[in-house]
Structure 1
Amino acid sequence: MADSRRPGPSRPPIRLRPAPVSDPPYLDEAPDLWPRPPGQLALDLFGAGQPPVGRPAGRRHDPRPGPGRPPAPPLPASATVTPEATRAAHRFVGTCLEILNGYRPPAQIRALVEPGSTVEVTEQLARAAARTGPVRRRSTRPAVHLRRIRVCEPRPAAVEVAAVVAGAGRCWAMALRLEHRRGNWLCTTLQVI
């Protein structure tokens, strides 16, 4: 008599297969383990002393843009941003967002702005506030929030920040520069794009 309560397996058992090799071979391994796709050139990591292909050996590379030449790529920014500079950038952008959301009065930004550029910075914040619409005082959810922030330190004691801000169904960017003066990080330039 067959047991009708438990039907037999309807699928074959699961097979475990070894994972494919995902790392490139070491120099002492056989080169045929990591085949190169047809038509792909080999990357010569150790031939740094040889001149690049396509450029005569006697000519010097001219990085300036000109007719028929593509513009030179921008110089890479400093790869290391100090933690203090990153904290200052996040603090300033956070303060701007609190002003835009109505949690702080706009006058509190003065302590974080260089005295000579207070008018320009407050005008830019007013321009950003005009994009958000009326402030909802009783709302616990902020109307404007930070989506992304990038911090770059082109030279010591100067930080450039690009922040993507979203609110009222729109996104815009804030670009600003902070400089370390008299023991404080002060905003010298703010632009709402």
Structure 2
Amino acid sequence: MSGARPGPSRPPIRLRPVPPFDPPYVDETDGSYWPAPTDGQLALDLFASTRPNPVRPPERRAALRPVPNRSTTHPATSLPPATTPETTRAAHRFVGTCLEVVNGYRSPAQVRALLDPARAGDLLTELARAIGRAGTARRRTGRPLVRLLRLRVCEPREGAVEAAAVLTGAGGRSWAMALRLEHRRGRWLCTALHVL
């Protein structure tokens, strides 16, 4: 057994520098990194925006009117104030209850207590549209057909919440529901509901 040869040896591992994929920083450019453009090739000037425009004469550049920014032309574009945890919970609870109705876990009559009495008929009709969009009734597996993907909540004024819910249904189809809740007599009531 003294004539046994050792197994195959592996070549040594060589570490090589990583090739540069990103262009150098402005302070790293010494002209050696990027080759100069060849004959017929367009040069890419990365600093053209800092140089004056040679096409427009200086006297015309000074005569240009300043472009107004959006905040002066549209003063109502400010964002609504941030929501409180209570308003966010109220929107989540209402959307969750609507999803239970859409998925067949609750009767639509159980939502009537959460609706504005003057608009309950119209709101239940919109909820019926959501049920129709969901497709077939709940399966025996207990897994919901429609799920909440995203909910955005804003509070345009104190005591009112507006929310937009993105829902996903069977087959990966997505649709949305927009709603408005108002705080009346210690309860949050839905005053507007739209299935989109």
Q: TM above 0.5, one fold? A: yes
CA contact (8 A) 1:101 1:143 kept: yes
Alignment RMSD = 3.3
Q: Which moved more, 1:163-172 or 1:181-190?
A: 163-172
In the TM superposition, residue 117 of structure 1 has moved relative to its aligned partner by 1.3
SS in 1 for 2:147: strand
The 1-side partners of 2:49 and 2:100 are apart by 53
CA contact (8 A) 1:77 1:153 kept: no
Instruction: Report the identity percentage.
Output: 50
- Of Structure 1 and Structure 2, which has the larger fraction of its residues in helix? 2
Larger Rg: 2
Distance 1:39 1:138, change over 3 A: same
Letter in 1 for 2:66: R
In the TM superposition, residue 3 of structure 1 has moved relative to its aligned partner by 4.3
The 2-side partners of 1:6 and 1:73 are apart by 75
Distance 1:120 1:84, change over 3 A: same
Letter in 1 for 2:84: T
Question: What is the match of residue 173 of structure 1?
Answer: 176
SS in 2 for 1:122: helix
Which runs of 5 or more residues in structure 1 are unaligned?
Answer: 21-31, 42-52, 64-71
**TM-score, normalization by structure 1:** 0.69
The 2-side partners of 1:129 and 1:156 are apart by 31
Which runs of 5 or more residues in structure 2 are unaligned?
Answer: 30-45, 51-63
The 1-side partners of 2:164 and 2:154 are apart by 9
SS in 2 for 1:111: helix
Question: What is the match of residue 137 of structure 2?
Answer: 135
**TM-score, normalization by structure 2:** 0.68
The 1-side partners of 2:28 and 2:96 are apart by 49
CA contact (8 A) 2:146 2:170 kept: yes
The 1-side partners of 2:187 and 2:88 are apart by 13
Describe the superposition over 1:128-178 as per-residue Cα deviations: whole angstroms up to 9, x where unpaired.
Answer: 111112213412211011111111111111111011111133221111001
Letter in 2 for 1:173: A
